[in-house]
Amino acid sequence: MAPMIASICNHNFLPRLIHPNSIVLDIGANYGDFAHTMIQRYRCRVIAAEPVEELHRRIPRHSLLNLFPVALGGENRSTSMNVFAERCASLLGSITPAEKLIAQPVEMITLTELRRRAHAERVDILKLDIEGAEIDVFNACSDKELQSIMQITVEFHDFLYPELRTFVGRICDRMREIGFWVLPFSLDNSNVLFINRQAGVSPVGVAYLRTIVKYREGMLRRLRLRDRETGVVSCGFSKYWQWY
């Protein structure tokens, strides 16, 4: 049977690995759409991190949601989050000299520390959307820690910060070496899925995901772009797509 793929907030994942006893990590929770859709759809526990004060305050609370006001990075320390007027906040700096930002003090912790605080010994899915800081998060993780996660869905940001491109390639190579399938669903690394081979997806299933599903995703993405340009669809943070 061909593996099924679901997508929430432009993050692809295997839904068959998610169930009511699952633990989901939502890093870069924004307004909480990914977290709350996972809870609504699968009734699972979600551990979310959102350091931007305004966004953190606006995320609806839920008994299955553990929300932390922290940024994830490569070490545990105090730092500044750069809040931009025209794009999502980031631990990284401006991409143009004219880009304006407000520096907000935040606590930065590693993935290891977040899991310790949340008592997340196992993780069924890790979603990373943290505007370039994902590189440091990966680099701070041991192979053993990454191997304890069944799937990781990432929006890499080398399309914003081209200097990160080499590091994204190294991360993908490392993930292959330590036992993950690497599935890029976009041309710019904005939707990459790492599936732990222990999850039981066969090479044939991976080939299906890399071809049929990938090209279908590309077609849907182009249709969404066309609709946005023509004003047919308004794609906010809560928009998600799913197909089986």
- Specify the 3-state DSSP secondary structure of 231: coil
Which pLDDT score, from 0 to 100, does residue 223 have? 57
Residue/partner pairs of 169-172 with CB below 8 Å, 24 or more apart: 171/135, 171/138, 171/139
- Cβ atoms of 133 and 172 closer than 8 Å: no
Tens digit of each residue's pLDDT (9 = 90 or more) over 22-49: 999 999 999 999 999 999 999 999 999 9
- Cβ atoms of 47 and 120 closer than 8 Å: yes
Which pLDDT score, from 0 to 100, does residue 209 have? 87
Residue/partner pairs of 95-98 with CB below 8 Å, 24 or more apart: 95/160, 95/161
Which pLDDT score, from 0 to 100, does residue 229 have? 58
Q: Which residues contact 73 (CB under 8 A, 6 or more apart)?
A: 79, 91, 108, 109, 110, 133, 136, 137, 140
Residue 148 has pLDDT above 80, yes or no: yes
**Region 123-127 average pLDDT:** 98
Which pLDDT score, from 0 to 100, does residue 228 have? 55
Tens digit of each residue's pLDDT (9 = 90 or more) over 69-96: 999 999 999 999 999 988 999 999 999 8
Which pLDDT score, from 0 to 100, does residue 44 have? 97
- Report domain extents, the chain: 5-76+110-243
236 falls in which pLDDT band (50, 70, 90)? very low
What is the fold of 5-76+110-243? Answer: Rossmann fold (3.40.50)
- Specify the 3-state DSSP secondary structure of 133: coil
Can you tell me the distance from the alpha carbon of 227 to that of 205, in angstroms, rounded to the nearest whole number? 31
